[in-house]
Amino acid sequence: MSGGNSHEAATAADRFAAAHAALKADSSVQFTMPPAPRPAPPPQWLFDFYDWLARVLKPVGRLFAWIGSFFPDAPYARIFLWTVIAAGAALLLWMVYERVRHGTWRLPRRRSARLAAIDDAAEESWAPDAAPVRAWLGEADALAAQGRFAEAVHHLLFRSIEDIAKRRPRLVRPALTSRELAAADAIPGPARELFAGIARLVERSLFGGRPVDADDWESARRAYADFALPGTWRA
């Protein structure tokens, strides 16, 4: 390398070093990033909740540990036994749900064609006794003839509840309201809708203070006539 080129390279290096020094001396230029702010610690109530949950679940953990102490050491056997216990617990919860919802203890099952035919035959053979029906319906008609339509519809509601009790003996309970009966899945949809229509008229009269007229009475009477049909309960 010639002397001239060497001098120019040294001069360029000096200029670069001077420019770099000037740049670093400029306070408006930031070369380093400040450390990120530390995240806020979780609230104390969250730690308190974790502590409370740990205390509540501690007996459950001891129970599982006690049950597991009876299991063999083979891992596959433990998996199998825990699966059986989980299935049993799920079955128990399902039965409790059915008890609360339908008022009866029952295991999950699929109805066979034979059982379905037996149930359908039983539904078909059931019908309100003619003499009692005529008696109470005559009473309801007498109330309606006097213009006491609300009482007549209330009479229909009582009879409908009696019919439900005959078809679903374990469903009707003293604490169960008409609205809860109207929402019970144990009653077929068409029968449930007809019963709900009668119950709404009674609720409107008793709690809403709205009068029940002759048209309402005729509608409720027709609803009960359809409600009592065996085919309505097989739908």
- Name the residue with higher pLDDT: 104 or 138: 138
Q: Is residue 170 scored above 80 in pLDDT?
A: no
Q: Is residue 126 scored above 50 in pLDDT?
A: no
What is the pLDDT, as a whole number, of residue 4?
A: 56
Maximum Cα interatomic distance, the chain, rounded to a whole number of Å: 134
Token reading at 130? 């003619």
What is the pLDDT, as a whole number, of residue 112?
A: 47
| Averaged pLDDT score across all residues of the chain | 75
Cβ burial, residue 37 (10 Å; 0-12/13-18/19+) = exposed
What is the pLDDT, as a whole number, of residue 85?
A: 85
Please state, in angstroms and rounded to a whole number, the distance separating the CA atoms of residues 193 and 145: 26
pTM beyond 0.75: no
What is the pLDDT, as a whole number, of residue 108?
A: 59
What is the pLDDT, as a whole number, of residue 234?
A: 67
Distance of CA 166 to the CA centre of its chain: 28
Q: Is residue 235 scored above 60 in pLDDT?
A: no
What would the pLDDT profile of 201-226 be if each residue is shown by its tens digit?
Answer: 888 877 777 888 888 888 888 888 78
183 with 191: CB under 8 angstroms?
Answer: no
DSSP 171-184: T--TT--HHHHHT-
What would the pLDDT profile of 12-28 be if each residue is shown by its tens digit?
Answer: 777 777 777 776 776 66
Q: How confident is the model at residue 127 (pLDDT cuts 50, 70, 90)?
A: very low
Q: Which of 32-36, 98-102, 151-155 has the highest mean pLDDT?
A: 151-155
Residue 37, CA distances (Å) to 32, 33, 41, 46, 106 in order: 15, 12, 12, 22, 60
Averaged pLDDT, 173-190: 78
Please state, in angstroms and rounded to a whole number, the distance separating the CA atoms of residues 204 and 197: 11
Every domain of the chain and the residues it spans: 44-102, 124-233
Contacts of 148 (CB under 8 A, 6+ apart): none
What is the pLDDT, as a whole number, of residue 133?
A: 54
